């Protein structure tokens, strides 16, 4: 087995490891192993192969990884998920909201939530309201 084949096998194993992990770290070493395989194929001795592996791995880790991580992490940090996504949504009052009687429910996308009005006003059944706050399982609404 030739030395370049060993480097290629190492590169393939590292690519497989990268697929199993998240973080684009192991792939930097796979790229380094690929370049070391190229150097071995061109006749470089083992010392140069190791030097090329180390330098290319380090350079890809320093320069390429941050670029790829920014590209892959396009999610907005302001995206609201789960129940927090309710704030700002519209709902329909399914049970009269009355602070004095501690009653009130709002239907939002088919889910029924216990509701209170923002300023304590009574809101009749069937009215459209906007969710302004979520406190555990109780939504605060306004007309």
d(C-alpha 32, C-alpha 34), whole Å: 5
| CATH number of the domain where residue 99 is located | 2.40.50.140
pLDDT band at residue 73 using 50, 70 and 90 as cut-offs = confident
Confidence of residue 72 (pLDDT cuts 50, 70, 90): confident
Q: Is 94 helix (H, G, I), strand (E, B) or coil?
A: strand
Q: What is the mean pLDDT of residues 77-104?
A: 81
Residue 37 has pLDDT above 70, yes or no: yes
Cα 17 from chain centre? 21
Whether pTM > 0.75 for this model: the answer is no
Q: What 3-state DSSP class applies to 112?
A: strand
87 plus 132 within the same structural domain: yes
pLDDT at 92: 94
Q: What is the mean pLDDT of residues 95-117?
A: 89
80 or 21: which leads in pLDDT: 21
Question: Coil, strand, or helix at residue 64?
Answer: helix
| Highest mean predicted confidence (pLDDT) among 69-73, 113-117, 136-140 | 113-117
For the ranges 62-66, 76-80, 116-120, which has the lowest average pLDDT?
A: 76-80
Q: Are residues 10 and 68 in the same domain?
A: yes
What's the rounded Cα separation, in Å, for the pair 64 and 105?
A: 52
What pLDDT score does 80 carry?
63
Q: For residues 110 and 93, what is the distance between their CA atoms, to the nearest angstrom?
A: 12
**In a domain? residue 77:** no
* Alpha-carbon gap, residue 76 to 59, rounded angstroms: 28
Q: Which pLDDT score is estimated for 58?
A: 97
What separation in angstroms does the CA of 4 have from each of 18, 73, 81, 94?
Answer: 21, 34, 49, 71
Residue 106's domain comprises: 82-142
Strands 138-142 and 128-135: antiparallel
Considering only CA atoms, which of 63, 58, 59, 66 is closest in space to residue 23? 66
Question: Do 47 and 68 share a domain, yes or no?
Answer: yes
Q: Is residue 63 part of a domain?
A: yes
The residue from 52, 72, 92 where one domain ends is 72
Residues 52 and 88 in one domain: no
Residues 124 and 93 in one domain: yes
Mean pLDDT within 38-54 = 97
Same domain assignment for residues 87 and 136:
yes
* Residue 23 maps to a domain: yes
Domains contained in the chain, number: 2
> Mean pLDDT across the chain, nearest whole number?
89
In a domain, 89, yes or no: yes
Q: What is the pLDDT of residue 47?
A: 97
């Amino acid at each position: 087995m030739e030395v370049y084949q060993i480097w290629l096998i190492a590169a393939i194993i590292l690519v497989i490891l990268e697929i199993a992990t998240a973080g684009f770290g192991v792939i930097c070493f796979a790229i380094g192993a690929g370049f070391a395989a190229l150097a071995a194929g061109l006749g470089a001795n083992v010392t140069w192969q190791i030097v090329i592996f180390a330098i290319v791995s380090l350079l890809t880790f320093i320069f390429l990884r941050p670029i790829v991580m920014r590209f892959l992490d396009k999610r907005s940090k302001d995206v609201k998920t789960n129940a927090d996504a309710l704030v700002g949504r519209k709902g329909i009052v399914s049970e009269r909201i009355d602070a004095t009687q501690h009653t009130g429910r709002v239907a939002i996308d088919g889910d029924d939530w216990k509701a209170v009005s923002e300023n304590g006003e009574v809101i009749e059944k069937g009215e459209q309201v906007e969710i302004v706050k979520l406190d555990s399982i109780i939504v605060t609404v306004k007309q």
